[in-house]
Chains A and B, each alone.
Chain A
Amino acid sequence: MQWIEEHWQAIALVLLGGGIWWLLPRSVSRRRIGPLAASLVGGYMLARLFPADSPVGESFLFFTFAGAALLCAILMITNRNPVYAALWFALATLCVCGLFWLQFAPFLAAATVIVYAGAIVVTFVFVIMLAQQSGATAYDQRSRQPLLATIGAMLLLSLLINMMLASSPDDLQVAAQRPTATAAAGALSVPPDQQSIAHAPMRGLGRSLFGDYLFAVELAGTLLLVATIGAIAIAPRRSRGTL
């Protein structure tokens, strides 16, 4: 028991990475339930590294959304069928939107659902329909360098976790108790009676977008226009070839 607590983070990383490595597509088909459960347990152990004192309801919602996001993401990157992968990606998007909602970003949650699940995933499914009509293919049945990729990714994750552990909790608390400092500096966006993002999230975001970031919003609109023209120019015509 002592040993487990000493090596808590390493055990969690090995469970998560080993589960993903086992699930990545290979020429032989393998059992999926066990490694999936192992990765979920690893993710839960990683979350337990940071004890939180949030209320029970919020904690329950967080673990539901975060666990579902982890599950859908793992199933997405390990699925052999691109269509199923796109659908798991849509579910992962919905779970991330739940996490946005928990963090006082309801507009962002709605926008992400509309843009990702409504537009991007549909476009992906359309392209899969156009490009891969023959069904199962050889290159979907095998992954490239699964062991090296998993080990490298887990090293990156442990680096990020240790950075979070090394940052003292006082930094975050000081930042959280200082709501007016940045608001006073950029007084255009947030009036003094609405300094908290929990108070009026939509209104504050709108003021911030069309006050502080007006030029950037115009630039983003231009970017969308340019991307539209570029996509139409790049996409192959029917008259020149077949699709």
Chain B
Amino acid sequence: MTGDVERYLMVGAILFVLGAIGFLTRRNLILMVLSAELMLHGVSLSLVTFGRVHNNFQGQAFTIFILTVAACEAGLALALVLALYQKSKTLDIDFWSDLREPGLPSHRVAEQAEELAFVEPPPAEYPHLTPAGREPKAKQLAASKRS
């Protein structure tokens, strides 16, 4: 029984830590919120395990409240992300690093050089359909181009 309980706690701890890594390293606003949700999963798993150890329902009831708060948090965070995206047209969190205290050194000097070298992958090639129907007269074509 005991080792069994600690294995579940271990999974909860690993999920929490993975969410923390995702929150710290990713630069996409949406992915940061998603990583926070992963951390909540780890905490929920630990709470349910504690409830089973103590043989009562407090852990499960607490997890239901976590679920409620997570739903509220996701809704509000995504509304905020949309509002921020409308201002900046990018989801990059580094765009908002101007909000920090002035005069601090930037850790992005090395990254910016590599980012400039980032080439956007070419757009996907879709097949072109041959236009159907009667071919327009040359006079009509010129008229439509002029207008």
Q: Mark A residues whose CB is within 8 Å of B.
A: 16, 20, 24, 27, 43, 46-47, 49-54, 58, 62, 66, 69-70, 73-74, 76-77, 82, 85-86, 89, 92-93, 96, 99-100, 103-105, 107-108, 111-112, 115-116, 119-120, 123-124, 127-128, 130-132, 135-146, 149-150, 152-154, 156-157, 160-161, 164, 169, 172-173, 175-176, 178-179, 182-183, 189-190, 195-197, 201, 204-205, 207-209, 212-213, 216, 220, 223-224, 226-228, 230-232, 234-236, 241-243
Which residues from B are CB-within-8-Å of A52?
Answer: 2-4, 7
User: Is the CB–CB distance between B53 and A208 below 8 Å?
Assistant: no
Q: Across the interface, which residues of B come within 8 angstroms of A130, CB to CB?
A: 82, 85
A56 to chain B, nearest CB (A): 13
CB distance from B74 to the nearest CB of A (A): 5
Q: Determine whether the beta carbon of B25 is less than 8 Å from that of A143.
A: yes
Given pairs A92-B38, A224-B72, 16 additional interface contacts (CB within 8 A): A52-B2, A58-B4, A73-B15, A104-B52, A124-B30, A139-B115, A143-B27, A144-B111, A176-B55, A178-B55, A190-B57, A196-B55, A197-B56, A220-B68, A223-B69, A227-B73
Instruction: Give the chain B neighbours of A116 by CB distance below 8 A.
Output: 37, 67, 70
| Range for the number of chain B residues in contact with chain A | 35 or more
Shortest Cβ gap from B43 to chain A (Å):
11
Q: CB distance A144 to B74 under 8 Å?
A: no
Q: Which residue of B lies closest to A73 (CB)?
A: B18
Contact B7 A179 (CB under 8 A): no
Kindly provide the distance from the CB of B123 to the nearest chain A CB, expressed in whole angstroms: 8
Choose from B41, B72, B91 the contact partner of A139 (Cβ within 8 Å).
Answer: B91
Given contacts A157-B13, A234-B79, contact A128 B92 (CB under 8 A): no
Name which residue of chain A comes closest to B59, CB basis.
A105
Rounded to whole Å, the gap between the CB of A76 and the closest CB of chain B is 7
